[in-house]
Amino acid sequence: MATGAFPIFLAPRVLSRRFNEYCPATWETAASKIEGTPPPTAPNFPPDLSNPFQTLNVDGGVTNNDPYNYANDFLHSDVLPPAPPRDPKSKDDRLTVDRAVIGIAPFPTTEEYRVKFSAEQRSGIFSALPNLFSALISQSRFFGESLSAIMTGTTFSRFVIAPSDHELVVAHEEASCKNPRTVRPQPPALQCATLGAFGGFFERAFRAHDYALGRRNCQKFLCDSFLLPIDNVIMKAALDGLDPDTMATVLRNFQRPQPGPYVKSDERKPLAEGCGPIPPFAAANSDASPQIWLPLIPLCSPKVTTFMPPIPRARMSNTSLTLVRNLILQRFKVLISHLLSLITSPLLRTFLKIGQPFIRFLAKRPLKNVLIKQLGDAYDPNS
Q: So where are the chain's domains?
A: 1-61, 207-314, 316-380
Instruction: Note the pLDDT of residue 207.
Output: 93
Q: Which residues pair with 227 in a beta bridge?
A: 295
Instruction: Give the DSSP per-residue string, 255-280.
Output: -BPPPPPGGG--TT----STTS----
Q: For 323-357, how does the pLDDT look when each residue is reduced to its tens digit (9 = 90+)? A: 989 988 888 888 888 888 888 888 888 888 888 88
Residue 271 binned pLDDT confidence (cut-offs 50, 70, 90)? very low
Instruction: Note the pLDDT of residue 327.
Output: 87
Instruction: Note the pLDDT of residue 36.
Output: 64
Residue 110 binned pLDDT confidence (cut-offs 50, 70, 90)? low
Instruction: Note the pLDDT of residue 153.
Output: 66
What is the rounded CA–CA span in Å between residue 272 and residue 252?
A: 19
Strands 316-317 and 293-295 turn out to be: unpaired
Q: For 297-312, how does the pLDDT look when each residue is reduced to its tens digit (9 = 90+)? A: 998 888 888 888 888 8
Instruction: Note the pLDDT of residue 281.
Output: 36
CA dihedral for 51, 52, 53, 55, sign (positive or negative): positive
DSSP conformational letter for 154: -
pTM score of the predicted model: 0.73
Using alpha carbons, list the distances in angstroms from residue 46 to 19, 25, 51, 52, 302.
11, 17, 11, 13, 61
Largest Cα–Cα distance in the chain? 89
Whether the bond between 43 and the residue before it is cis, its omega within 30 degrees of 0, is: no
Residues 6+ apart with CB under 8 A from 150: 158, 159, 160, 262
Alpha-helical (H) ranges within the chain are 30-35, 68-75, 125-141, 144-152, 166-178, 194-197, 199-202, 204-224, 233-239, 244-254, 302-305, 318-341, 346-354, 356-375
